[in-house]
Amino acid sequence: MDPPDIRIVLVAPSHPGNIGAAARAMKNMALTSLWLVRPKQFPHPEATARASGADDVLAAARVVDSLGAALEGCGFVAATTARERDQYFRVADPRAEAPRIVGEARRSPSAVVFGAERTGLTNEELEAAHVLLRIPASEAYPSLNLAMAVQLVAYELYRARATPAPAADPAGAPLATAAEMQQLYAHFAAVLDEIDFKDRTESGTHLMSRIRRLLQRAELDHNEANILRGILTAVQNRRRHAGDPPR
């Protein structure tokens, strides 16, 4: 099997040994693309020691300053969580979602994002995902070691590649990239401000988060994101014409 175009993204890992162990877990399951977002210590001898034969995966790891940079060019994005999240996120078992991740990777890069060892991913970081992956574990102690979580998800991806499953339509438009979705959200926020559409909730801070999660669940493709941006531009143009002084 050729390695699928799936990125394993570790956000702010604090222990270099976990980075090396994650690289080893990836090589066990024929994954090669490791991305590190603001690692506390890397490169590091402990990472090399724990990689134990996966030195090539570790050497090729990309280090970037932001999650957005790690997801550049990606279509489908899954993020891991060990905690209960509100109902506006779609949460799935890694085994159930693995075929989708593998299928999407056949037409544009997919990504699986893991958070820091102690804190996991923030709600803001989760908003870049189309689905959250929650590994079944004991309710008394559901938190897994970072490298262990990478191993379990990588195993499910390996199994999915070995099992025939319907692939994403290669002729269909690819999913909008994370960068394109960020541009759409910024455009949405600007238009809401221009038309004075405010968040009416008590805190007044959840409107854009709800819109982001709605559109992430919709899994817009490249063309659909452009259509929405075209509509937003038309709204802006119409408001400017309406505000022109009478001739």
Residue 247 pLDDT: 43
The answer to whether 81 and 134 have CB atoms below 8 angstroms apart is: yes
Distances from the Cα of 135 to the Cα of 49, 96, 99, 117, 143, angstroms: 27, 11, 16, 15, 9
Q: Is 162 exposed, middle or buried (0-12, 13-18, 19+ CB in 10 A)?
A: exposed
Contact 94, 153 (CB under 8 A): yes
How far is residue 28's CA from residue 208's CA, in Å, rounded to a whole number?
A: 40
Domains and CATH numbers, the chain: 6-162 (3.40.1280.10), 178-242 (1.10.8.590)
Q: In which band, very low, low, confident or very high, does the pLDDT at 241 lie, cut at 50, 70 and 90?
A: low
CA of residue 148 relative to chain centroid, distance: 19
The pLDDT value recorded for residue 244 is: 61
pTM here?
A: 0.85
Q: Is the pLDDT confidence value at 129 over 90?
A: yes
> Is residue 166 pLDDT above 60, yes or no?
no
In the predicted model, is pLDDT for residue 170 greater than 60? no
Q: What is the mean pLDDT of the chain?
A: 89
Within 8 A by CB and 6+ apart from 45, the residues are: 16
Compute CA 20 distance to the chain's CA centroid, rounded to the nearest angstrom.
21
36 vs 140, more confident: 36
Tell which wins on pLDDT, 199 or 50. Answer: 50
Instruction: Considering only residues 27 and 85, tell me which one the structure prediction assigns the higher pLDDT.
Output: 27
pLDDT in tens, 84-112: 665 578 899 999 999 999 999 988 999 99
Break the chain down into helix, strand, coil percent, rounded to 5. 45, 15, 40
Two tokens, residue 212: 């982001």
pLDDT tens column, 10-23? 999 999 999 999 99
Helices (H), 60-135: 67-70, 94-104, 123-126
Rounded Cα distance between 69 and 119, Å, is: 21
Question: Mean per-residue pLDDT for 118-133?
Answer: 92
